[in-house]
Chain A
Amino acid sequence: MTDLIAQAGIAEGSPRVDAAQSVWSLRGRRFRSHGGGMASLVILAVLVLFCLAAYPLEQYLGLDSNATDLFSRYDPPSALHWLGTDEAGRDELLRLMYGGQISLLVGLLATVIGGAVGVTLGLIAGYFGGKLDALLMRVTDGVIALPLLPLLIVLAALDLTKLGFSSEFAHSGAASFWRIIVIIALVDWTSIARLVRAATLSVKERDYILAARASGAGSAYVMATHVLPNIVTPIIVAFTLTVGRVILFESVLSFLGFGIVPPTPSWGNMLNNAQELVTTAPALAVYPGLLIFITVIAVNFLGDGMQHAFDPRSERR
């Protein structure tokens, strides 16, 4: 075998000879060659570690991130408060870290839930086609055509007690946390649904689907086992880009006062009193937004890198 290869003039060990190279290792290599994607991965890892370091730092400094101290409002950075204090005397750095945990968690959960809805609807619409597809696409187009922020604000302002929940649940922090996740998932599933539907349509005609159905496989089985794994790459890219969008949504809602309610910190609601901060403590107005900006731009670059890695035809950067 090797003398045949030597005759053909191919160097030993070159990629074309390694027959057992998987698609995923090829994609990994292409991803690693994308500078922006790799840098974003590092930045996001650093950000996650930064947020997770909240509890250890709190213990180390001996502070309580929720303890207000109105005598030390807007303190400049010191040995105890590395970034100073905010308008209620709480440590700014710790609040940024805990806020990051909440913001990132909301981003991930809302993406996963909304994405699950979108994938399901897209699969059903693409696989079954016909009237069901037409109906689902009309609904999707309808939702896409709506102004999202005003709608989100109304959804966030709903009185949960009118829906039958108990009064103490409606006013709890957990309710506000889950509410924002649910409403973002409720409006943000449309782009993933369209993507999945298009991908399903292209996969539906393949022979292995026909073979599975001929062998008597049920629709759900075929969708889950044959269609889904083959459309997973655009879904991964779409999920990544959705995280960025969702983080922005959550920050706007929290900033406007309709998302995570204080005292639970979130990068958005730390800018609640932004106009005040501009004249009294400008640095405090910059930090949370800067962190949101860095996170979202890193996530977008990551999605771009993944797109470059997965799609053999996308242009070289």
Chain B
Amino acid sequence: MGLFILRRIAQTLVVLLIMSFIIYGLIGLMPGDPIDIMAASMPGVTPEVVAKLKAIYGLDQPLMLRYWRWLIALLQGDLGFSRTHSQPVLEVLTPALLQTCKLMLASFVLSVIAALILGLISALRPGGIVDSIISLFAFAGISVPVFWLALVLILVFAVGLHWLPASGMSNVGDGGLLDQIRHLALPVLTLMLANTGQFTRYVRAAMIETLRMDFVRTAWAKGAGAWRVVIVHGLRNALIPVVTIMALSFGTLFSGALVTETMFAQQGMGKMIYDSILSNDFNLALSGLLFATLITLLSNLAADLAYGWLDPRITLK
């Protein structure tokens, strides 16, 4: 088990390192040059000064050298300065990360609960009316474009019924918990509806498979009650592959969060990455992308480790 963990952690670090190099290279290919942008807003800057600045900041050096220096700085905790926010990148990232975590956790937990309930119900009578309705809903969930779903929800709940605010994170005078929850309601609902479909299909498939197994039949035969058989024997075993698949879907959850935050003007990681790429804020985009990759890789690692822990057969391979 220990070897398994070490191997997976090592793999994660290697992928992270490679991705950091690729992202660094890609950001370098984005339009504009940091010094040129800076010089454009400063009158009276001559080309010689620009060249000198580039030499000072090392922008005329080869890619590997620049990447190496950036990596060293990163490992020492220096993420650079954000041009558009006029603050160190870390100070911009931290609150944004917090906001995104709120959004992602709330919608993840709610969609898992909803998927467990719906998947369980539809697995009990496969092919029946309830199953067909739930499956149709699940299909719709995986087919709907998230930004359009957000739009429709805004139309219905904010513009039409005036029940919930259409955007933002809190009202200007307020900021208390209830106000924040009201502002989080529609984004969380959007993400939840989009993810529940996918999870429901997994839970349903896993439950149907598990309920067919011999140990479940034995439990029925021994006279165990319906609740005990389905939940204790069925669901607990079905959850093993399902939990890991759910953890693996963090990548798509993050992508959905990016779109949702942009639609609802929530200052989260996703919107920050989007804004920084639009405005060519290189440092922020670089760090944001790296963080996004880190979060996704970590959740995949957690999923693998959880699977290895829950199902000992995996670690013995």
Q: Give the B-binding residues of A (Cβ under 8 A).
A: 138, 141-142, 145-151, 153-155, 157-159, 161-163, 244, 248, 251-252, 255-257, 268, 271, 274-275, 278-279, 282, 285-286, 288-290, 292-293, 296-297, 299-301, 304, 315-317
In the complex, which of the residues A141, A278, A296, A299 contacts B151, with contact meaning CB atoms closer than 8 Å?
A: A278
B126 engages A274 (CB within 8 Å): no
Residues of B221-279 at the interface with A, using a CB-CB cut-off of 8 Å, are 251-252, 254-255, 258-259, 262-263, 270, 273-274, 277-278
Closest chain B CB from A167 CB (angstroms): 11
CB–CB A271/B297 < 8 A:
no
A-B contact count (CB 8 A): 141
- Contacts A147-B255, A289-B151, A292-B148 given; does A256 touch B274 at CB 8 Å: yes
Residues on A with C-beta less than 8 A from B149 are: 289
Query: B15 touching A145 by the CB < 8 A rule?
Result: yes
Kindly list chain B residues whose C-beta atoms are within 8 Å of the C-beta of A271: 147-148, 151
Q: Is the CB of A148 within 8 A of B255?
A: yes
Q: Does chain A have a CB within 8 A of B208?
A: yes
Given the interface pairs A248-B145, A271-B147, A286-B152, the reply to whether A162 lies near B29 with Cβ below 8 Å is: yes
Which are the 6 A-B pairs with shortest beta-carbon distances?
A: A289-B148, A149-B255, A159-B31, A297-B143, A296-B143, A142-B15
Q: Which of B21-41 contact A (CB under 8 A)?
A: 23, 26-32
- Cα distance A316–B128 in the bound complex, in angstroms: 11
User: Of B27, B143, B146, B155, which one neighbours A244 at CB under 8 angstroms?
Assistant: B143
Contact across chains for B26 and A155 when beta carbons are under 8 A apart: yes
* Inter-subunit contact A158/B30 (CB<8 Å): yes
Q: Does B103 contact A (CB under 8 A)?
A: no
B29 pairs with A163, CB closer than 8 A: yes
* Dominant secondary structure of chain B at its interface with chain A: helix
Q: Which residues of chain B are within 8 angstroms of A158 by Cβ–Cβ distance?
A: 26, 29-31
- Give A317 to B98 CA distance when docked, in angstroms: 43
Q: Are the C-beta atoms of B251 and A145 separated by less than 8 Å?
A: yes
| B interface residues, how many (CB within 8 angstroms) | 55
- Is there contact, CB below 8 Å, between A315 and B26? no
Interface of B toward A, CB cutoff 8 Å: 11, 15, 18-19, 23, 26-32, 126-127, 132, 139-140, 142-149, 151-152, 154-155, 159, 166-167, 208, 251-252, 254-255, 258-259, 262-263, 270, 273-274, 277-278, 285, 288-289, 292-293, 295-297, 300
Chain A hits for B18, CB < 8 A = 142
Q: Show 28 residue pairs from A and B whose CB-CB distance is below 8 angstroms, ordered by the A residue.
A: A138-B11, A147-B251, A147-B255, A147-B293, A149-B255, A150-B273, A154-B26, A154-B30, A157-B30, A158-B31, A159-B29, A162-B31, A251-B145, A251-B147, A252-B147, A255-B147, A278-B159, A278-B166, A289-B148, A290-B148, A292-B145, A293-B143, A299-B143, A300-B139, A304-B139, A315-B126, A315-B127, A317-B132
Give complex CA distance A154, B159 in Å. Answer: 33
Q: How far is the CA of A154 from the CA of B154 in the complex (A)?
A: 28
Q: Let me know if B145 and A153 touch, CB within 8 A.
A: no
Q: Contact: A154 with B285, CB < 8 Å? A: yes
Most buried by A among B127, B148, B252: B148
Closest to A292 in B: B145
Residues of A within 8 A of B259 (CB): 149, 252, 255-256
Pick the residue among A146, A163, A244, A293 that contacts B148 (CB under 8 A). A293
B257 CB, min distance to chain A CBs, angstroms: 9
Contact of A293 among B19, B145, B278 (CB under 8 A): B145
Query: What residues on B are CB-neighbors of A159 within 8 Å?
Result: 29-32
**Residues of chain B with a CB closer than 8 A to A155's CB:** 26
Residues on A with beta carbons closer than 8 Å to the beta carbon of B288 = 150
Q: Report the Cα distance A148→B255, complex, angstroms.
A: 7
Q: Are A274 and B292 in touch, CB under 8 angstroms?
A: no
Nearest-CB residue, chain A, relative to B12:
A145
Are B296 and A145 interface neighbours, CB within 8 A?
A: yes
Distance from A248 Cβ to chain B, minimum over Cβ atoms (Å): 6
Asked if residues B139 and A146 are in contact (CB atoms below 8 Å), the reply is no
The answer on a CB contact under 8 Å between A153 and B277 is yes
What A residues does B293 contact at CB under 8 A?
146-147
Q: When the two chains form the complex, which single residue of B23, B147, B251 contacts A274, counting CB atoms closer than 8 Å?
A: B147
A-chain residues with CB within 8 Å of residue B166 when the two chains form the complex: 278
Known: A150-B289, A157-B31. 13 other contacts (CB 8 A): A142-B18, A145-B297, A146-B251, A146-B296, A147-B254, A155-B26, A159-B31, A274-B151, A278-B155, A285-B151, A289-B152, A304-B139, A317-B132
